[in-house]
Copies of this chain bind each other. A is one copy, B any other.
Amino acid sequence: MKRSERLVNITKYLLARPHVLTSLPYFAENYGAAKSSISEDLGILKRTLAADEDGILETVAGAAGGVRYIPFMGEDKARAYVKRLVNEVQQPDRILPGGFLYLSDVLGSPYHLQQIGKLISTHYAYSNVDYVMTIETKGIALAQAVSRYLNVPFVTVRHRSRVTEGATLSVNYVASASDHVEKMELANRMLQENSNVLIVDDFIKGGGTLSGMEQLVKEFHCETVGKCILCEAYYPHQQQVSDYLALVSISQIDQQNKTIHAQPGNFLEQTDFNKFEK
């Protein structure tokens, strides 16, 4: 195989396997090339990813070492995307009766899911996440997008028992919209004990659903390592939880004048983007 074809191949291979460690000998054997040539190829990929600020090629030294591709978004790209997202969210035709917001198009768009997934994964790239968790229905797209870039499974909490899940563990929580006590549950075999869980959801108002999921994580003897929301509706007095990240923050939905006031949430300021080795 020619040098240039090997380079394309290695790029394809690593981009398809985020966070997975591959040893240099694997590449050397697979391509019938010297380890020094492979090292050069990896150096090119590393510099190209860093120059574009859209990924990190991490080198792990030693006998059990190798390289892994960490999807990672640079600060400029992150700010530009969040700005675009805020503009998108502020479109007046998103207002639905009752002060709700139509976001299903964003959550069904491959472009947005790619950006959002990569952005959230950037923050949690070094948090040793074992599972991404969300609650049905709209959070699923988000969880799957993050799961892709962290390369860990995602699990979906359900509102009520389904016959196709088997045994489940359930908790009660106060639904913000209704003030009623409701039930959420997850199949027993979905989470392994002592795992690190990242909770994501599309929208937060009071935070009842979020604290329900945290409680569920505890019941499974796991730990919540992060909570990240696409869009928060920030009405301070209603908050049941506060220590989460939000990409977009909505301060006002004015149904009469058909305006939405949104701004970047706390996600950007809470994220350390300085991980690129130059």
Residue numbers of A with Cβ under 8 A of B are 2-5, 7-9, 11-12, 15-16, 44-45, 47-49, 51-52, 54, 96-98, 100-105, 108-110, 113-114, 136-138, 140-141, 144-145, 147-148, 151-156, 158, 163-166, 187, 189-190, 203
Q: Which of B98, B138, B164 contacts A101 (CB 8 A)?
A: B164
Q: Which residues of B contact A104 (CB under 8 A)?
A: 155-156, 165, 187, 190
Contact A108–B165 (Cβ < 8 Å): no
Q: Closest residue to A100 on the B side, CB-wise?
A: B164
Q: What 7 pairs across the A-B complex have the smallest Cβ distances?
A: A8-B48, A100-B164, A108-B153, A140-B140, A11-B11, A136-B137, A96-B166
Q: Which of B48, B102, B165 contacts A187 (CB 8 A)?
A: B102
Q: Which residues of B contact A152 (CB under 8 A)?
A: 110
Q: When chains A and B are docked, how far (Å) is the Cα of A265 from the Cα of B73?
A: 40
Q: Which residues of B contact A102 (CB under 8 A)?
A: 164-166, 187, 189
Q: When chains A and B are docked, how far (Å) is the Cα of A141 from the Cα of B146?
A: 12
Some 23 contacts from A to B, beta carbons below 8 A apart, are A4-B7, A4-B44, A5-B44, A5-B48, A7-B7, A8-B45, A9-B48, A9-B52, A11-B12, A12-B49, A96-B163, A97-B163, A97-B166, A102-B165, A103-B164, A104-B165, A108-B147, A108-B155, A108-B156, A110-B152, A114-B148, A137-B156, A140-B144
Q: Which of B45, B48, B49, B144 contacts A141 (CB 8 A)?
A: B144
Q: Which residues of B contact A154 (CB under 8 A)?
A: 108
Q: When chains A and B are docked, how far (Å) is the Cα of A103 from the Cα of B164?
A: 8
Contact A110–B153 (Cβ < 8 Å): yes
Q: When chains A and B are docked, how far (Å) is the Cα of A6 from the Cα of B112?
A: 26
Q: State how many angstroms separate the Cβ of A134 from the closest Cβ of chain B.
A: 10
Best-buried of A11, A104, A109, A141 by chain B (most CB within 10 Å):
A104
Q: When chains A and B are docked, how far (Å) is the Cα of A154 from the Cα of B145?
A: 13
Q: State how many angstroms separate the Cβ of A124 from the closest Cβ of chain B.
A: 15
Q: State how many angstroms separate the Cβ of A12 from the closest Cβ of chain B.
A: 7
Q: When chains A and B are docked, how far (Å) is the Cα of A8 from the Cα of B3?
A: 12
Q: Closest residue to A18 on the B side, CB-wise?
A: B110
Q: Which residues of B contact A5 (CB under 8 A)?
A: 44, 47-48, 51
A sample of 15 more A-B contacts (CB under 8 A), given A12-B52, A102-B189, A114-B148, is A7-B7, A7-B8, A8-B11, A9-B48, A12-B48, A15-B15, A97-B163, A97-B166, A98-B163, A102-B166, A104-B187, A105-B153, A108-B154, A110-B151, A113-B144
